Amino acid sequence: MSKLPTRPLTIVNGRLVLPTGLADQAEPVPGALRIIGDRIAEVGAVTPGPDDDIHDAKGALIAPGLVDLGVFAIDLPAFHFGGISRAALMPDQNPALDHPARVRFAAYSGKPDFWVHPLAAATRDLAGSEMAEIGLMQEAGARAVATGRRWIVDTGVMHRLMQYCAMLDLPLIVHSQDHGLSGNAVATAGEMATRLGLPQAPAEAESIAIARDLALVRMTGARVHFRQVTTRAGLALIRAAKAEGLTVTAGITPAHLFLSDVALGGFRTFARLSPPLRCEDDRQAAIEAVGDGTIDVIASGHDPRGPEDKRLPFADSQPGMAGAETLLPLSLGLVRDGVIGTQRLFDLIAANPARILGVEAGALRCGFEADVVLVDADRPWQVDSAKMAASAGNTPFDKLPVQGRCVALFKGGRLVDQIKG
């Protein structure tokens, strides 16, 4: 592993994105950031020391490195391109992360330029029937437990799982899609799925799954993160649960914020996702939920899929999208549209995911790890699936003009990626 920087680093001439409360819509403030070793030492009106290395931000945003909650592959070039400094790895690997040795290996897989936080499989082989050795996997480095791409059908198993997670103070990350209703569906029931003749499931498959798990949260006091909540009914349940005081959080990906099931037209398999894209009313409800604080996390859902998974009939293709490179620019669109402020955005893509994982990152705070991204929020570029840094370019946003680029990324105070020019 690389040694820590021997000289302090001061990043000057930037606009600081500072931690904020939900209601704060303030813009970033001019300032500088000083790093000693791998930790943030000073933030604000900083005077560089005589021996400091100086990095000129040239007016860019100085923001915390993104924390991506729930990726399916470790794809360093894509993460660095997107300004992501650490990610929580879903247990859906081959083999599944259901053993302490696999968790320990995953935790070291990206160092020193990237931190991987493995999510322990909730059940053996993610089959949903027998609990895995969660305590041992926590000791091996697991920051949370996850059910993977599946909903645990057996309520008794889910109840015991929540009890155990509550006892260990581990967050549980769940997939919310009642398999009894969704089955092998590949689209949300509605006009578009009917026109295309695709296997479809009602949107209520999500809210029914959420309702059951919220009942179990009331019984156990577990901390539960609903990884993707994408329907108006599901979001209403989360909103009510928060008002009740339940320890729940909710996430979403940019795809469900900016695309509806209309994107399935032409049987575009890059738009084959899980959960499937929803109707326009659900999409609008998701935007509202970001604005009012119901949504806590925006994650990339990074799941690169090659031609063998995507160049198939729509119903036979695999769900997933390469999302690491587009997370930042698409999320910045919420700022340009006036839905949220810049500081609140970085709560969603950095601070809140870090808080759920229990890591000292995701915010520009003294003493936190010096994971820092410099962002040119106005820099235009075009998404091109053929030129992506990811191992596969299966993005539903192919050829979309976007704004916002990571121009430099620091991991633990070390420069690991920078755009020239």
Which residues lie below 8 Å from residue 253, measured CB to CB, with a gap of 6+? 228, 298, 299, 300, 301, 321, 323
Q: What is the CATH number of the domain that holds 81?
A: 3.20.20.140
HSE (CB half, 13 Å, CA atoms) of 326? 30
Token pair for 330 = 């698409």
pTM for the model: 0.95
Rg of the chain, C-alpha, whole Å: 21
* Residue bearing tokens 């082989």: 125
Question: Per the domain annotation, does 314 fall within a domain?
Answer: yes
Strand-pairing partners, residue 32, are 44
Which burial class, exposed, middle or buried, applies to 13 when counting CB atoms under 10 A from its CB (0-12, 13-18, 19+)?
middle
Strand-pairing partners, residue 248, are 224
Give the number of other CB atoms < 10 A from CB of residue 112: 15
Question: Per the domain annotation, does 415 fall within a domain?
Answer: no
Contact 96, 142 (CB under 8 A): no
**DSSP-assigned letter for residue 302:** B
Question: Per the domain annotation, does 277 fall within a domain?
Answer: yes
What angle, rounded to 10 degrees, do the helices at 232-244 and 280-292 form?
A: 20
Question: Per the domain annotation, does 142 fall within a domain?
Answer: yes
The side-by-side arrangement of strands in the sheet containing 172-174 is: 66-71, 84-89, 115-121, 144-146, 172-174, 224-226, 248-252, 297-298
In whole angstroms, give the CA distance from residue 335 to residue 96: 37
Q: How many domains does the chain have?
A: 1
In whole angstroms, give the CA distance from residue 157 to residue 154: 5
Question: Per the domain annotation, does 194 fall within a domain?
Answer: yes
Task: List the one residue out of 210, 215, 242 whose CA is nearest residue 226.
Answer: 210
**DSSP-assigned letter for residue 247:** -
In whole angstroms, give the CA distance from residue 235 to residue 206: 10
Task: List the one residue out of 336, 183, 319, 214 whose CA is nearest residue 256.
Answer: 319
Question: Per the domain annotation, does 38 fall within a domain?
Answer: no
In whole angstroms, give the CA distance from residue 54 to residue 391: 34
Question: Per the domain annotation, does 52 fall within a domain?
Answer: no
Which residues lie below 8 Å from residue 220, measured CB to CB, with a gap of 6+? 159, 162, 163, 166
Report the chain's terminal Cα–Cα distance, integer Å. 29
In whole angstroms, give the CA distance from residue 271 to residue 276: 8
In whole angstroms, give the CA distance from residue 127 to residue 150: 8
Q: Write out the residue range of the structural domain in which residue 184 sits.
A: 66-357
The identity of residue 112, as a single letter, is P
Question: Per the domain annotation, does 403 fall within a domain?
Answer: no
**DSSP-assigned letter for residue 348:** I
Please list the pLDDT of the chain residue by residue as tens digits (421 residues).
455 667 999 999 999 999 865 444 467 889 999 999 999 999 998 989 999 999 999 999 999 999 999 999 999 999 999 999 999 999 999 999 999 999 999 999 888 899 999 999 999 999 999 999 999 999 999 999 999 999 999 999 999 999 999 999 999 999 999 999 999 999 999 999 999 999 999 999 999 999 999 999 999 999 999 999 999 999 999 999 999 999 999 999 999 999 999 999 999 999 999 999 999 999 999 999 999 999 999 999 999 999 999 999 999 999 999 999 999 999 999 999 999 999 999 999 999 999 999 999 999 999 999 999 999 999 999 999 999 999 999 999 999 999 999 999 999 999 998 886 5
